[in-house]
Amino acid sequence: HGPSRRQALIGSAVVGWGAAAALGIDRVATARETPTATGSRTVPFHGRHQTGVTVPPQAHAAHVALDLLPETDLTGIRRMMRLLSDDAARLTQGRPALGDTERELAHTPSALTITFGFGRELVTRAGGPVPDWLSPLPAFEIDRLTEAWSGGDLLLLVAADDPVAVAHAVRMLSKDARQFASVRWVQHGFRNARGSTAPGTTMRNLFGQVDGTVNPAPGTAEFDQLVWHSGGWLDGGTSVVIRRIAMDLDGWDRVARVDREGAVGRRLDNGAPITGTREHDDPDFDAVDERGFPVIAEYAHIRRARSPNVAERFLRRGYNYDDPPPAGQLSDSGLIFVAMQADPVRQFVPVQRRLDDLDLLNEWTTPVGSAVFAIPPGCADGGYIGETLLG
Ligand code: HEM
């Protein structure tokens, strides 16, 4: 019997390695990829706020909810958040996590941000105090929620301009969380690829609408007031409402362009209000047509969604989803609707109630998932996310 094929392979590999070493060739001299400006871009991890709230939305995002294992107590939660914060601090800066088994995947962070959120159960197990808004939203008539897309104890919001960076970060974080929590749901979302539209261009959703025009801008007094929570362990933090909203693209296909524009109150070409010409023109809600009917109808989405009370505004950071369709259907598409605000019950809920009462868009949209999380403040180098609650 001669050497087996396996032995032969191992033998030649060893010979090969030995020869390379003899020649002084360094096997790990350089990474294969040369990251571009986009690939090597980093967003700071440390700071007063978690940076995922304010960074211009990246092209790809994974929204991951985990459930704590029954035995995970305050000590476990603290250990988990120390570990995950350390992973996030490294990965967002383009460095492999400790024990990273795919180190090379860390080298193209592509503006990676990792934002953590705490569900009611986590804050309760940690000993609180639990904000009174940190519980499931009230039920709405339009809701067709499934457990599979709702709730969760810990949120990982992982976003980057490169989906490989997102996948790697989610994998590292889930592995390190495994001894404390299990994955409950994952919602992958996308916007236009970085570079396909000019920076600052408002995204389009899969109905083809310009979506996100009226939104508080980070760094303004309005944003600070609407978004950041003040006082207690959440000082400098915020909250997030994640609603998975299915969009009936087949039904929308049958709607004439003029009626599509009427349903929202904005034009499809550039997102301008139908009473104006440019995207950021103020809608004229008082304008009437020759028959005396309001140009922006009573049922139009922007009329219903704009609260007369400016304190009821919030930040929208949604992502499109387009998943494999169930058998017999063409698509399973929609919006991962992400709203951030200091207090969801005082800001988000009144708006959602108005839309529940009347909004023509409801004809083609159905909320199928819903979750609320507290987003703790950021942390300094050496600290960890959640230390103001868990420390
Ligand atoms: C505005 C689409 C769900 C709140 C808009 C606009 C579009 C749009 C095209 C106009 C452009 C803009 O300012 O962004 C959609 C679609 C939805 C959806 C397709 C579901 C799939 C919701 C929900 C809420 C909401 C659930 C809150 C409960 C708002 C607000 C505005 C807005 C606050 C800005 C209104 C203003 O002009 O002041 N939406 N939306 N939307 N939407 Fe939605």
Bridge partners, residue 239, by sequence = 341, 374
Please give the distance, rounded to the nearest whole angstrom, from the Cα atom of residue 312 to the centre of ligand 1: 14
What ipTM does this complex have? 0.99
Annotated active-site residue 211? The verdict is yes
Q: Compute the distance from residue 233 Cα to the ligand 1 centre, in Å.
A: 31
Question: How many whole angstroms from 161 Cα to the centroid of ligand 1?
Answer: 24
* Cα–ligand 1 centroid distance for 301 (angstroms): 7
Are 366 and 262 in contact by the 8 Å Cβ rule? The answer is no
pLDDT at 285: 98
Q: Is the CB of 337 under 6 A from ligand 1?
A: yes
pLDDT-derived band at 91, boundaries 50, 70, 90: very high
pLDDT in the model for residue 391: 92
Q: Hey, whose CA ends up nearest to atom 36 of ligand 1?
A: 306
Which two three-digit tokens encode residue 206?
Answer: 């899969």
Higher-confidence residue of 92 and 31: namely 92
pLDDT of res. 34: 85
What gap in Å lies between CA 136 and CA 329, rounded to an integer?
Answer: 31
Query: Three-state SS for 201?
Result: coil
Residue of 281, 316, 332, 372 with the most ligand 1 atoms within 8 Å of its CB, for mutation: 316
Q: Which residue's CA is the nearest one to ligand 1's atom 24?
A: 352
Tens digits of residue pLDDT in 193-229? 999 999 999 999 999 999 999 999 999 999 999 999 9
pLDDT digits (tens, 9 = 90+) for 61-88: 999 999 999 999 999 999 999 999 999 9
Q: What does the alpha-carbon distance between residue 208 and residue 203 come to, in Å, rounded to a whole number?
A: 9
pLDDT, position 280: 98
Q: Tell me which of 255, 301, 353 to substitute to probe ligand 1's pocket, judged by most ligand atoms within 8 Å of the beta carbon.
A: 301
Residues in contact with 288: Cβ distance below 8 Å, sequence separation at least 6, in sequence order: 294, 295
Minimum-distance ligand 1 atom for the alpha carbon of 209: 9
- Among residues of the chain, what percentage have pLDDT more than 90? 90
Q: Measured from the CB, is residue 302 less than 6 Å from ligand 1?
A: yes
How many other C-beta atoms lie within 10 A of the C-beta of residue 98?
A: 11
Q: Is 315 exposed, middle or buried (0-12, 13-18, 19+ CB in 10 A)?
A: buried
CA angle, corner 247, sides to 260 and 67, nearest 5? 150
Q: Which residue among 153, 211, 356, 359 is the active-site one?
A: 211
Q: Is 225 exposed, middle or buried (0-12, 13-18, 19+ CB in 10 A)?
A: middle
User: What pLDDT digit, counting tens, does each position of 39-50 carry?
Assistant: 999 999 999 999
Q: Is residue 91 lining ligand 1, measured as CB closer than 6 Å?
A: no
Nearest partner of 63 among 190, 222, 161, judged by Cα: 190
Q: Cα–Cα distance between 350 and 312 in angstroms, integer?
A: 7
User: Number of C-alpha atoms within 13 angstroms, CB side, residue 354?
Assistant: 17
Mean pLDDT calculated for residue range 85-93: 98
* For the CA of 212, the nearest atom of ligand 1: 14
CA nearest to 165, candidates 36, 78, 56, 333: 36
Indicate if the pLDDT at residue 15 is higher than 80. Answer: no
Mean pLDDT of the chain: 93
Across 284-293, average pLDDT: 97
The string of pLDDT tens digits covering residues 128-175 is 999 999 999 999 999 999 999 999 999 999 999 999 999 999 999 999
Which ligand 1 atom is at minimum distance from the Cα of 313? 33
Q: Could you tell me if the CB of 315 is within 6 A of ligand 1?
A: no
Q: Does 301 contact ligand 1 (Cβ within 6 A)?
A: yes
